[in-house]
Amino acid sequence: MATKATGSAGGLTNFNILHGFTEALVRGMRSSFLLDADYHHITQCDSLDDVKLNLTENDYADAVADLGNLTPSNLQAAAIEKLVTEFKYLRTQAVEPLATFLDFITYEYMIENVMLLLKGTISGRDINELIAQCHPLGMFRESTMRAIPTFESSPKGYQDLYQTVLVDTPVGPYFSLFLQDSADKAADGHIRNVLEEVEVEIIKSSLIKYWLEDFYQFCQTIGGETASLMSELLAVRADTNAINITLNSFGTPLNEPSMRTTDRARLYPCIGTLYPAGTQMLQEVADEESLGHALEFFPQYAGIWNVHANGGANDKSIDDAFYERDVRMLELAFESQMHYGCFYAYVKLKEQEIRNLVWIAECILQQQKEEINKFVPVFSQHAPWRLKKR
């Protein structure tokens, strides 16, 4: 599925000629991240009005200027809109193969939007409400967005959805692979209505798996530092998905012995540190204890799992541990040059910053100030891994 890159875009000979300006833009945008001092001032606020006032002193000034009463939801929407504006500007300056690389970043949000609309189809929610909740980076044409929830919840309805709507979208090939995989599992060889038989989140995991593998292969065609760095970033993303899929399957039909090595195993990405030996072990995992034993063979995940097994050491959840690991790796993407990884890292680090802002705003709104510092700052001089280097 991935479009092959023409020539070497990962070497020193032609990178600056093609992408030097765009790379300079994204590296300049690094200065827009909130500083430790910004977080300190925001967390000391007693009201959301004070938060808004503090945000006018940094790069979010224009984003919050037109907001009336600040709320966690409209703060999130304004921050996402700011990120989308910056990303689209980068995309307009990009030439191939960087342009396709940036498009790959948006495919994940397209998948999330499709699944959100499919959920709405099943629950009968209002289409306008659903579209308003979709991520702006994953939007199709409005006619396409409105068409997705109109198909009936039946085997023929979902086949028609792919053949008449999704086939013309960038995520169509992933949906096609999912339907084909479903057909291969069906005893009669025909596509069965898996969309009604399993949770929608499982379908989303399948589509994300195909996207990760496709993105990984595309990065390999680029070569150079991009291939090396993105291989690591996408590998840890794939490993995180595999661990979470296993953990979330406990107490569901996916954890039944007959389903572990079939349906659940098919959700594991075929890339990453865990693949293939680790994912083979995950197929046999039946509970949290056996999951912990399987991860003992992978030191980089054994420590993260211990955080979860201990009930959250230092009030830290397993998600927090994953976020800290991801932020560290994404920050390091800015330490080398002449590669595409900094574009991916910028988007993902901004996502983390938005999560931080929403968390702080929620804590202030709910008067839970004792929980307010439970976030993962970006480019913090007080990050544990930075302090260890001193």
Write down the H helix ranges in 124-186. 127-133, 142-147, 155-164, 172-185
Helix (H, G, I), strand (E, B) or coil at 354: helix
- Residue 238 amino acid letter: A
The domain tally of the chain equals 1
Burial 260-279 (b: 16+ CB within 10 A, else e): beebbbbbbbebbebbeebb
CB 209, CB 175: distance < 8 Å:
no
Domain hosting 320: range is: 15-389
pTM (two decimals): 0.91
Q: What is the mean pLDDT of residues 356-365?
A: 97
Measured from the Cβ of residue 373, the count of other Cβ atoms closer than 10 Å reads 14
In Å, how far from its chain's centre is CA 218? 18
Output the pLDDT for position 71.
Answer: 95
Output the pLDDT for position 314.
Answer: 60
Q: What is the mean pLDDT of residues 9-37?
A: 88
Distances in Å between the alpha carbon of 113 and those of 64, 216, 227, 322? 25, 22, 28, 24
Alpha-carbon distance of 91 to 190, in angstroms, equals 40
Alpha-carbon distance of 230 to 340, in angstroms, equals 8
pLDDT band at residue 196 under the 50/70/90 scheme: very low
**Residue 94 burial (10 A CB sphere; 0-12, 13-18, 19+):** buried
Is residue 234 in some structural domain? yes
Is residue 9 in some structural domain? no
Is residue 355 in some structural domain? yes
Is residue 2 in some structural domain? no
CB 131, CB 146: distance < 8 Å:
yes
pLDDT band at residue 191 under the 50/70/90 scheme: very low
Is residue 10 in some structural domain? no
In Å, how far from its chain's centre is CA 103? 14
Is residue 241 in some structural domain? yes
